[in-house]
């Protein structure tokens, strides 16, 4: 599972990020509403945790704008505003759950896991298609021409990110930050090795290549048919 935490309290955000990663959940962090809105729009997350009171753009405004843009990522609102009217306002703004502060991390984790299992996300957020290649984010199934392709977890995340950005050049740095979740020398060949393995799996026995290496730039997945 991959989640986004939009929280301006840096100490609290660092604690949550560490706790979620220890629970096996990848957690990205944005410290203000504008940055959080951009990250939630440009990346695919299973759940977003959003504080109500944020700099640059308040949490409810972020949620409303996400829904207007057609982003249906489940949202859990965290807030010191815990009265009934506050919770109702948050849910009506497009939130899926509301947890007042202070809270126990065990409860927050349980709520995030429940939201992450929801199957009601519209197809455009769940199923990616490039030509006859399909990737289902919920079932973690990949098929090409109706034939199932078995991928390792890292290969699946790599293909997922490439297909989300189909038709666009994806740099090695972008892949390191969004698929590997850490920063190191973008010249390392770990990217090339995984791309090569992925290419062999999705293009074996198929005449039409989809995954291209853009010399000096990165990679692109695109249907040229």
Dump pLDDT digits (tens) for 98-153: 988 888 999 999 999 888 876 444 444 578 889 999 998 877 889 999 899 999 98
Residue 216 burial by Cβ neighbours in a 10 Å radius (0-12, 13-18, 19+): exposed
Contact 198, 158 (CB under 8 A): yes
What is the Cα–Cα distance from 14 to 52, expressed in whole angstroms? 18
pLDDT value at 224 more than 80: no
pLDDT value at 1 more than 70: yes
Confidence (pLDDT) at 186: 54
Contact 209, 132 (CB under 8 A): no
Q: Which helix (H) or strand (E) holds 198?
A: helix 190-203
Give this prediction's pTM: 0.54
Beta bridge partners of 149: 142
Dump pLDDT digits (tens) for 64-109: 998 888 788 899 999 888 788 888 888 888 888 998 888 899 999 9
Q: What is the mean pLDDT of residues 47-60?
A: 93
Confidence (pLDDT) at 184: 56
């Amino acid at each position: 599972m991959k989640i986004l935490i939009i929280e301006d309290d840096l100490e609290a955000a660092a604690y949550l990020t560490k706790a979620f990663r220890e629970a096996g959940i990848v957690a990205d962090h944005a410290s203000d509403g504008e940055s959080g809105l951009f990250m939630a729009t440009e990346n695919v997350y299973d759940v977003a945790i959003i504080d109500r009171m944020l700099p640059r753009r308040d949490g409810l405004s972020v949620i409303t704008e996400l829904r207007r843009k057609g982003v249906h990522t489940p949202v859990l609102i965290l807030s010191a505003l815990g009265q009934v009217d506050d919770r109702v306002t948050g849910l009506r703004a497009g939130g899926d759950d509301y947890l007042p502060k202070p809270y126990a991390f065990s409860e927050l984790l349980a709520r995030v896991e429940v939201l992450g299992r929801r199957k009601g996300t519209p197809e455009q957020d769940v199923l990616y298609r490039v030509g006859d290649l399909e990737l289902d984010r919920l079932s973690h199934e990949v098929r090409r021409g109706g034939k199932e392709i078995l991928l390792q977890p890292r290969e699946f995340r790599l293909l997922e990110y490439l297909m989300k950005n189909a038709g666009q050049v994806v740099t090695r740095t972008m892949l390191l930050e969004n698929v590997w979740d850490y920063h190191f020398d973008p010249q390392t060949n770990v990217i090339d090795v995984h791309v090569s393995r992925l290419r062999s799996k999705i293009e074996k026995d198929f005449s039409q290549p989809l995954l291209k290496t853009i010399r000096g730039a990165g990679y692109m997945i695109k249907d040229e048919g």
